[in-house]
Amino acid sequence: MAIIASNTIAQGDSREVGIARAMANGWEIFRATKSRPWVGGASVFVSLIWLRNDDLGDQAILEGVSVSKIDSNLTRPSRVVGEPYELKTFSGQYSQGCILVGAGFVLEAAEGEALIAADQRNRDVIRPFLINDDVNNDPQSLAGRWAIDFFDMSLEEAERYPGPLAIVARDVKPWRQELKSNGEYVRRKPLPQRWWQYGDKRKAMRDAIADHERVLVIGTPSKFGLPAIIPNGHVFNNTLFAFYTPDVAAMLALLTSTWHFNWWTVKGESTMKSDPRYTPSDGFDTFPQPDLTPRVRTAGEDLDAYRRHVQLSRTPQLGLTDLYNEVHNPANLDSDIQRLREIHVEIDEAVAEAYLAHPLAARFGWMPLVLNHGFHKTVHGLRWTVDPDVQIEMNDRLLELNHALYEDEVRRGLHNKRGSAKPRKAVAPKAPDDPGDLLW
């Protein structure tokens, strides 16, 4: 049997009810291509899968390479079986950015600057509006627009800023207060009643990062899935996730490492076309973290400082996506790009050392890994990264640790009375049909 389907067939619930169930009923994948562009005119990425239910036992072919077996997520099988579980110790330490529900809150650069110039008090309610595209494509990850942000002000408080409020009253209020034929509001409560406030203003996130000078964010989707450190004080758009940690340098290193990237692109996989889409409920909540050591922290600071230097010293200046196109280009042997690769090697080795120091490492019999960095063919294309065979062992170790930590959390009553919980499945957030719909 042969299948041509969207590449989401090997992700999340689609995988569970499709390929995984077929394999549980005796079918075996003997050839597969995980993701490739559709040859027609549609901008679609597809998976090609061949299955059989005989006992021939021939070697399988994955991405044109002979392998012993192909798993339901269209990768080589691991020695550790099972799905990852949410870990309460690490989960929930992040938030998706604000959901505005009304385009009128967003101002072009000149309009925002003019409002501030007209009345400096407007700085209280006009903030840089940062989106995924800014983080990944602007050389300084600077916001290109502004957003009017009354946060949780009452209408009386908002009236102290007549210029910004007039814009929201003109461009947001009529849409928010649109009526049905029976006289009821079209939009859900409290959008019509609190028309000057965002649909979801992310109070918990703002409280958690209020005292931080810098915030770690990651945009989704993006070609390379890179976190970045951003000055606080922005309105983060819902294409960004912000992490609550004050230890931004160490967390930058951990979430940049191959350990984390490989985990969330396999165990919590979700894509938009061919670009990975970060879903922290699956890629972060299940990710068993080591202690963030001084070596990890130093590597993160080195990455942040040197990467910014490279981005701004090149002509033309480079955003993160363009910079990492060069990092992953084997023809680029420039000294600054080589140095950036070396920093990524140091990050992976520092994180590997931290995992070896984990109290459970001896129980599992872990030994030091030779990461063998180089240019390797991956499902994401040719990348400067850890040897793909070693990446499988990395994920095996993380899954072992996830299961052990979950069992300990169950014993400590962190999940429920009977200590049972379902493994996390990768389910991507649904895009809103119109500005009135929340992502989830």
**Residues 24-78 pLDDT 10s:** 787 888 888 876 777 766 666 677 888 888 776 677 888 777 777 777 777 777 7
Cβ-based neighbour number of residue 40 at 10 Å: 8
SS in 3 state form for 299-312?
HHHHHHHHHHHHHH
Which ranges of 140-284 would DSSP assign to H, the alpha helix? 155-158, 162-171, 173-176, 203-209, 248-256, 258-266, 280-283
pLDDT value at position 25? 81
Listed by start position, the domains of the chain span: 2-67, 100-210, 245-411
d(CA 436, CA 71): 40
Residue 109 contacts residue 144 (beta carbons within 8 Å): yes
Closest to 255 measured CA to CA, from 108, 102, 90, 133 = 90
End-to-end CA distance of the chain: 36
Residue 276 contacts residue 225 (beta carbons within 8 Å): yes
Closest to 243 measured CA to CA, from 227, 264, 261, 260 = 227
87 phi/psi in degrees, rounded to 5: -110, 115
Closest to 290 measured CA to CA, from 419, 393, 394 = 394
Averages of pLDDT over runs of 10 residues in the chain (440 residues) are 77 71 80 74 74 77 78 76 92 96 97 98 98 97 98 98 98 98 97 98 97 96 94 97 98 98 81 73 95 98 98 98 98 98 98 97 96 93 94 96 97 75 47 34
List, in order, residues 6 or more apart from 97 with CB less than 8 Å away.
130, 202, 205, 235, 236, 237, 238, 239, 240, 241, 242
Structure tokens, 366: 């872990």
- Encoded amino acid at 188, one letter: R
Give the sheet arrangement for strand 45-52, strand by strand: 2-6, 45-52, 28-37, 60-62, 65-67
> What three-state secondary structure class fits 12?
helix
pLDDT value at position 423? 60
> What three-state secondary structure class fits 142?
coil
pLDDT value at position 30? 80
What sign results for the dihedral spanned by CA atoms 66, 69, 74, 77?
Answer: negative
The radius of gyration of the chain from alpha carbons, rounded to an integer in Å, stands at 24
84 phi/psi in degrees, rounded to 5: -75, 155
pLDDT value at position 292? 97
pLDDT value at position 435? 38
For every residue of 284-301, DSSP letters joined together read TTT-------HHHHHHHH
pLDDT value at position 426? 41
């989707």: which residue's tokens? 221
Whether a cis peptide bond, with omega within 30° of 0, leads into 190 is yes
d(CA 384, CA 374): 5
pLDDT value at position 429? 40
pLDDT value at position 273? 56
In 78-130 the beta strands, taken as DSSP E runs, fall at: 94-96, 106-108, 126-130
What sign results for the dihedral spanned by CA atoms 24, 25, 26, 30?
Answer: negative
What predicted TM-score, i.e. pTM, was given to this entire model? 0.82
